[in-house]
């Protein structure tokens, strides 16, 4: 390999992270795109707000503060934070499986989290705490089933993905059965939830999820270097002192926690966790699956998809999951074709 990779040391509380200069430049570009999309999201509604009105509302001096700050800003913030969480979750599982299809929505974790949500809606009272807890438990159970079934003769990324796809199909069938057995009102709410939507999200729904996601991403930042060491291969990771079993358990908990937290609030939003890590990796030209580009790409993708969902059939606002599913189907076919070509 010719030439050298230019890196920048980022220090926080005595700990240093070495980031490639190209990754930092890409991060800056994605942040600018994110801010631009956020400004469009704050301006768009039943009537367009001018840039002056948006800035005045954000500073608390405008007449449209309630509409822009209370309604639109919460939705924009949810798209950014949830998109970043899904991007990181996808990067975690794609690093664990060493497979670009190793995404929570492909290997059944989204479906498992949704099962937990359905249990909370149909059996329990369906409070926000119950939804969050049940969603995490459902995702962890699905992850445990996939992991245990994949451990025969050593953990194989391809086998995990294939088994995950089978588990996803079975759990999706179970979810359909639960919805069919539920009362009509609950079934209607559950079907709407299954589409994945940011419609009606307000600040009261976001305080706890944002806190949980912030904590998970902070832990992930400290585990990122070790995760990338393990992606080089089990032998290399063990030789450098990485405890693989403990690391994999931690990564699964973080990945499921991110996915389930989003699902508990917005329902299962597919495609973002699958595509964001790979798009971020290609833009950064990185050998592995870097977390920062994955998170920022996920945020940009979910913002863009939500704007499309709002504008496509305006004034009717579609669930964002409808848009991500439509785009994700084409992306998945392209990804499968690439994998077949490699083999």
In whole angstroms, give the CA distance from residue 163 to residue 342: 21
Q: What's the confidence (pLDDT) of residue 3?
A: 43
Closest CA to 27 of 286, 212, 261, 224: 286
Q: What's the confidence (pLDDT) of residue 285?
A: 81
Backbone angles phi, psi at 259, to 5 degrees: -65, -45
In whole angstroms, give the CA distance from residue 23 to residue 20: 5
- The pLDDT profile of the chain, 343 residues, written as one tens digit per residue, is 344 445 555 555 545 555 677 778 888 999 999 999 999 999 887 778 888 888 888 887 766 677 788 888 999 999 999 999 999 999 999 888 888 888 888 888 888 988 988 888 888 877 777 888 888 899 889 988 888 887 766 566 678 888 888 999 999 999 889 888 888 888 887 887 788 888 888 888 888 899 999 999 999 988 887 777 776 666 666 676 667 778 888 888 899 899 989 988 888 898 899 889 988 888 888 777 888 999 999 999 999 999 999 988 878 888 998 898 888 777 777 777 776 676 6
Sorted by sequence, the CB contacts under 8 Å of residue 119 that are 6+ apart come out as: 134, 138, 178
Q: What's the confidence (pLDDT) of residue 1?
A: 39
Q: What's the confidence (pLDDT) of residue 47?
A: 79
Question: CA-CA distances (angstroms) from residue 195 to 67, 148, 227, 331?
Answer: 25, 29, 32, 18
| E strand or H helix that includes residue 156 | none
Cα-to-chain-centroid distance, residue 103: 9
Check if the beta carbon of residue 50 is closer than 8 Å to that of residue 23. no
All structural domains of the chain, each given as residue ranges with its CATH number in brackets, are 20-341 (1.10.3470.10)
Q: What's the confidence (pLDDT) of residue 2?
A: 40
Helix axes 51-58 and 21-43, enclosed angle (nearest 10):
100
Residue 84: Cβ-neighbour burial (10 angstroms; 0-12, 13-18, 19+) = buried
Summary count for the chain: helices (H), strands (E): 14, 2
Q: What's the confidence (pLDDT) of residue 213?
A: 94
- pTM listed for this prediction: 0.87
Check if the beta carbon of residue 217 is closer than 8 Å to that of residue 85. yes
In whole angstroms, give the CA distance from residue 276 to residue 105: 13
Tell me, what DSSP letter sits at residue 66?
A: I
Helix (H, G, I), strand (E, B) or coil at 317: coil
Q: What's the confidence (pLDDT) of residue 75?
A: 92
Q: What's the confidence (pLDDT) of residue 4?
A: 46
């Amino acid at each position: 390999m010719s030439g050298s990779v230019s890196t920048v040391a980022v220090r926080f509380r005595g700990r240093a992270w070495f980031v490639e200069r190209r990754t930092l430049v890409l991060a800056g570009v994605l942040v600018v795109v994110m801010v631009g999309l956020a400004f469009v999201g704050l301006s768009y509604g039943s009537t367009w707000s001018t840039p002056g009105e948006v800035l005045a509302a954000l500073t608390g001096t405008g007449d449209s503060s309630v509409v822009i700050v209370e309604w639109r800003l919460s939705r924009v913030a949810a798209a950014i934070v949830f998109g970043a969480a899904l991007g990181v979750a996808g990067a975690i599982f794609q690093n664990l499986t060493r497979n670009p299809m190793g995404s929570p929505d492909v290997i059944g974790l989204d479906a498992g989290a949704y099962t937990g949500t359905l249990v909370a809606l149909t059996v329990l009272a369906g409070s926000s705490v119950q939804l969050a807890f049940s969603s995490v438990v459902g995702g962890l159970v699905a992850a445990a089933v996939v992991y245990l079934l994949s451990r025969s003769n050593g953990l194989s990324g391809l086998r995990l993905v294939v088994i995950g796809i089978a588990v996803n199909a079975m759990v999706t069938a179970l979810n359909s059965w639960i919805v069919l057995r539920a009362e009509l009102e609950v079934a209607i709410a559950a079907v709407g939830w299954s589409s994945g939507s940011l419609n009606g999200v307000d600040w009261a729904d976001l305080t706890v999820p944002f806190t949980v996601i912030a904590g998970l991403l902070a832990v992930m930042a400290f585990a990122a270097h070790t995760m990338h060491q393990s992606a080089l291969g089990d032998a290399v990771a063990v030789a450098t002192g990485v405890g693989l079993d403990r690391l994999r358990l931690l990564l699964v908990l973080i990945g499921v926690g991110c996915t389930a937290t989003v699902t508990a609030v917005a329902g299962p939003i597919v495609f973002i966790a699958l595509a964001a890590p790979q798009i971020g990796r290609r833009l950064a030209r990185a050998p592995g699956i870097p977390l920062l580009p994955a998170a920022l790409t996920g945020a940009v993708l979910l913002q863009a998809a939500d704007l499309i969902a709002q504008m496509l059939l305006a004034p009717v606002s579609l669930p964002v999951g409808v848009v991500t599913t439509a785009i994700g189907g084409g992306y998945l076919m392209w990804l499968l074709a690439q994998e077949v070509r490699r083999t």
